[in-house]
Structure 1
């Protein structure tokens, strides 16, 4: 028997488009002789719908779209699992479930309700849903199939309950966002909770960008022993078709397929960033993107990602030199823009900077120049970029990295001004690795941009290390403290200088107010600033 996972790129609230993609996948699967098709978790609404779930109109639209799918697939022989919210009861007794309906020949023949509701990291499903209580199985062509929804297979009890009532294989609707190493976690968890029971498993995962989340696809089938039998494409829509067969003793298992070799981590992260930019800009209807190109490595990486995501014709690079901009920065920015074929403009800010200083001269009389004047330059640039955005409709992509956002090495309403923070979750050391990897594809980024010491170029002779520890040290401390929740003592015990640890941790704590005002950005680690990191701005606590 052929079963399949429809790896779909859905958009939250796009009921006509989401339904069309589900119907299209069902017809394509039926043409290939598929008997059971699994779509991702909440595939009808898109994931995560968040507080839209609290609106009655949203539920009505979902119900109407499900009816449309049911009618449009009535002539097909396959069984279709569609993820969608289910609302039951009235008034104070009303409950909402994260559910999947099994459609066959124009009827809803069963409903599975999600049992385990994640309420950590980027997930807050307990805010919206009640827990399902019953295990759901159905029979097709003499095979008994159990159904679970995403988090259900991350715990041992739901798979065991399905196994105990006779499920021979497990079908999972998934909306599992990407972060580094996520697929390994999915497979290891499935082996521990499902393969240990001797059940083969097929998981259909969502793909695409949704605000700061990116879904990588990689739908997969594990055979009864836990070996990877088939896997969908990474960061692309796909229809993964697998054969489920029974032996003479009635045991069912998947027929294994060839599995492509996994690309290196840098390639995966880069693909996630490209997909995140493409979908954020495309799904929100922006005509293109603007990047403030400085001649530095961060803006170079963002420009390369934007061009790979959108095409050179939809990307504009703007160089805004100040009196402190080095000549090599001009030359490298021009070189890179030419390599990528984007529109490139230079808007010198010297006259604007002089005008601001003249306006403030009376207020600042007798006071030395300091970071105030440095930040003025960044804010002038932000204002110019936003003016171009307002006039032409293109979104400004900010270029700050995770290392900078962690310690506040960024200017509010300056280099933080914009609509989407592409590398907000990319540590500086990873920025360099991604640039070097991108140049293995084509020579997009001038080598000098990658190798020269980083500098904001806001005063003569400035480098980042005038204000920050070396990035190797800074990134290690940020990772241990912010991503792994290690204490100051533990970080020092790991071999990092006590003074640097104390300084970096203090900067992380006192710059929360800046991060709250930063644009959303793509999440690629298991803990990013934003949805994962919920610390108060006003706090006297210090480690």
Structure 2
């Protein structure tokens, strides 16, 4: 079971961490094996809570991360949580998703690759690699916010054979939800859309199935909340997306089924005649 968590994000790292850990406990109590959080959930997000990196107390960030990881181990819960990853000065941080295992160990980090103009010119250092990890035999990929507008990234994760993409957001316009739904449908996999609570009135957190339809949506009233969803490939509605559409699209994208049917016909070659 996957918990899509809509946490409160402020400039107070300790407060952010407290919200994260509260939702982690709720997720585990509901039976979740993985809890997924928004962009910048732990540290806050640049341009909003963070205006200057010098204002960030990295010792507090490290302390609260360790407490969060320790709770993940105590709960035996996988956690994917957003936060800024400090680099050696004068380099700007990465905008990252930390993957914490159910033993409380940091086992991976996804660094946002496609940054906005403001992010890349004023706040963050880009990453360059996808991240795929496994939980209980399920393969998960990671993406962050504006990367939603880059379809090639989601196609790449389909080629990497993921079952679901964890898409962490800090965004307050509804078109990103529609894009996430489209990527879920086009690639026939689940997408967990975890947004900040203060963006939820117009862009609530949600879980989209391989058919692109919402399986659950968080409250849109600005409060911290979560939805827990069983990822079940045996769901009848997912038969076509998973067992027919996805294999066919992969085959079609390779192109050989079309190339071998190309004909040498003047009525095909001449595109100026009716």
State TM-score, norm by structure 1: 0.41
Change beyond 3 A, Cα 1:140–1:73: closer
Q: 1:76 to 1:251 in 2, by over 3 A?
A: farther
Structure 2: distance between partners of 1:25 and 1:134:
29
C-alpha deviation, 1:153, in angstroms? 2.0
Q: 1:43 to 1:15 in 2, by over 3 A?
A: same
Contact 1:244 1:253 in 2 (8 A): no
Counterpart of 2:126 in structure 1 is 131
Number of matched residues?
234
Q: What is the match of residue 170 of structure 2?
A: 175
Q: 1:40 to 1:143 in 2, by over 3 A?
A: same
Q: What's the counterpart of residue 157 of structure 1?
A: 152
State whether residues 205 and 218 of structure 1, in contact with CA within 8 Å, keep that contact through their aligned partners in structure 2: yes
Could you say which residue in structure 2 is the equivalent of 1:8? 7
Relative to structure 1, the CA distance from residue 62 to residue 233 in structure 2 (aligned partners, 3 Å threshold; closer, same or farther) is same
Structure 1 unmatched ranges of 5 or more: 209-213, 255-543
Distance 1:164 1:242 in 2: 24
Aligned twin of 1:225: 211
After superposition, where does 1:251-400 map in structure 2 within 5 Å?
none
Greater Rg over alpha carbons, structure: 1
Q: CA distance change for structure 1 residues 186 and 50 in 2, over 3 Å: closer, same or farther?
A: same
Query: How far apart are residue 253 of structure 1 and its match?
Result: 8.4
Q: Deviations over 1:481-524 (max 9, x none)?
A: xxxxxxxxxxxxxxxxxxxxxxxxxxxxxxxxxxxxxxxxxxxx
1:154: how far off?
A: 2.3
* Residue 253 to residue 46, structure 1, CA distance change in 2 (3 Å): farther
Residues 200 and 252 from structure 1, CA distance in 2 versus in 1: closer, same or farther, beyond 3 angstroms? farther
* RMSD (CA atoms): 2.4
- Shift of residue 30, structure 1, vs aligned partner: 0.7
8 A contact 2:38–2:168 mirrored in 1 = yes
Per-residue deviation at 1:186? 2.0
Instruction: Compare relative contact order (CA 8 Å, sep 6+) and give the higher one, 1 or 2.
Output: 2
Tell me: CA distance 1:156–1:10, structure 2 relative to 1, closer, same or farther (3 Å): same
Instruction: Write the mapping of 1:22-101 to structure 2, written as runs, cut at 5 A.
Output: 22-47=20-45, 48-52=48-52, 54-55=53-54, 57-88=56-87, 90-92=88-90, 94-101=91-98
CA contact (8 A) 1:147 1:171 kept: yes
Alpha-carbon shift at residue 95 of structure 1 (Å) = 4.2
Find the aligned partners of 2:162 and 2:42 in 1 and give their Cα distance. Answer: 26
